[in-house]
Amino acid sequence: MVDARRRPPARTVRLRPVRKDELALQYRVVHGYRRAFRMAGSGPVLVLIHGIGDSSATWAELIPDLARTHTVIAPDLLGHGASDKPRADYSVAAYANGVRDLLTTLGVESATLVGHSLGGGVAMQFAYQFPERTERLILVSAGGVGSEVNPMLRLVSLPGAHLMLSTLRLPGMRLQVGLAVHLLKMLDTDLGQDAPELLTLVDALPDDTSRYAFIRTLRAVVDWRGQVVTMLDRCYLTQGMPTMLLWGDRDSVVPVRHAYGAHAAMPGSRLEIFEGAGHFPYHSDPARFLSLIEEFTSTTSPADWSREHWRELLVEGRPAVEGAGGRADLARTQALESDLREASERSAT
C-alpha cells in the first residue's frame, strides 16, 4: 500500500462522550504481580499497548468508540500506571509474555494488536513470539526500527539518571518544566507538538519505585548511542499478516524516516502519515485515527497462520531491499540497508 499522506480517512468518526464505567481500571494478579487494565465492548479483540512512561489512560478518549465494534483491552504494562512495579525483567520479550499471560487469564486466544512507541515494539515482539495469536498489527510511532531516538531518552539511560529524574519532584520544578514545555510549543518545535504528553510523563514518576521501573524499562531498549533492539531483521515474518503503520511527520521521539524503513521491510504493509502530528498522532487527530482503525480491521481478514508457512518464511530468509525508483526512494532504501546491516547488533530475541 502506498503512502496515503494526503488521502482523507474513509469517513469521519464522531467522538461520543466517555462513560466512566467504560474506563474503570480492572485488575488481575499474574505470577504474583497485580496487572491493571481497561476492558470494554464486545466483538473481535483489540489490544492497545501504550509506550514507555505512559499507561492505558493514554487511550481513554478512544476506547468508547473502539468498543462499539470491538472488545478493547488496554493494559498498564508492568512497571507502569496502576500495575505493580517490581524489580523485574522489563525487556520487550518479557512484556510480550506479560501481554500473552494477561490475555490468557481473560480467555482471549487471539487479537489485533495496536502498539504505540515502546508498545509498538512489544506488539511486534508478540507477533514474533506468538504469531498464531496475532490477527493484525497496527504500529503507531513504533520503536525498534532504526537506532535514532530523542537525545533526552539517551541521556536518561545514563548512570545517575535516577537522581536527575528525582529533581523533577523538587518544589517549583513542575512549574518550570511546564513553562519550558509551553515555550517549545509556542516556538512550534517538533517536540512541542507533544507538550501535554511531556507533562503527563513528568507526573507519571511520583516516587522512587516508579522512577526505577521507568529507568529499567528504558535501559532495556535505549543506551547512550540510541535504540539497542530492532525488529528490522525479522520484519519479513509479517508476510501474510495485515499490518498498518501510523506515524506523525513531526515525531521528535522516533523519526518519521523509521516509518518508511519499516514499511519497506514489511511485505504488504500499509503506511499512513499524519501531517503536523508529533509522537502521538492518535491524540493529534483522534477522528482520523479511529476511522483508520475501523476501516483496516473491517476490510482485512485475520492472519491465517500455519507452521508450514512460518517455516517457509524462515528458510527463505529476509528478502533483498528493493526501491521503486526516484531519488527520495533511493535515499530511503540506502538508509534501510544501513539499518539492516546494524540490526544484528541490536536484535531482540
- pLDDT at res. 7: 44
The grid coordinates of residue 3 equal 503512502
- State the catalytic residues: 117, 251, 279
Please give the single-letter amino acid code of residue 333.
T
- pLDDT at res. 5: 40
Q: What whole-number distance in Å separates Cα of residue 220 and Cα of residue 25?
A: 27
CB atoms within 10 A of CB 316: 10
List CB contacts of 235: < 8 A, sequence separation 6 or more.
124, 262, 265, 266, 318
- pLDDT at res. 342: 55
Q: Which residues pair with 115 in a beta bridge?
A: 49, 139
CA torsion 64→113→76→349, rounded to 10°?
-170
- pLDDT at res. 324: 47
Q: What angle do CA 37, 304, 41 make, to 5 degrees?
A: 30
Longest dimension (CA), the chain: 60
This prediction has a pTM of 0.84
Do 135 and 213 meet the contact criterion of CB atoms below 8 Å apart? no
Q: Is the dihedral of CA 110, 119, 27, 62 positive or negative?
A: negative
DSSP line for 144-170: SSSS---HHHHHHTSTTHHHHHHGGGS
Average pLDDT by consecutive 10-residue portion of the chain (349 residues)? Answer: 42 50 87 96 96 93 95 96 93 96 96 96 95 96 84 78 66 59 60 70 76 87 84 88 96 91 92 94 96 97 91 84 53 55 52
Which residue's C-alpha cell is 520479550? Answer: 93
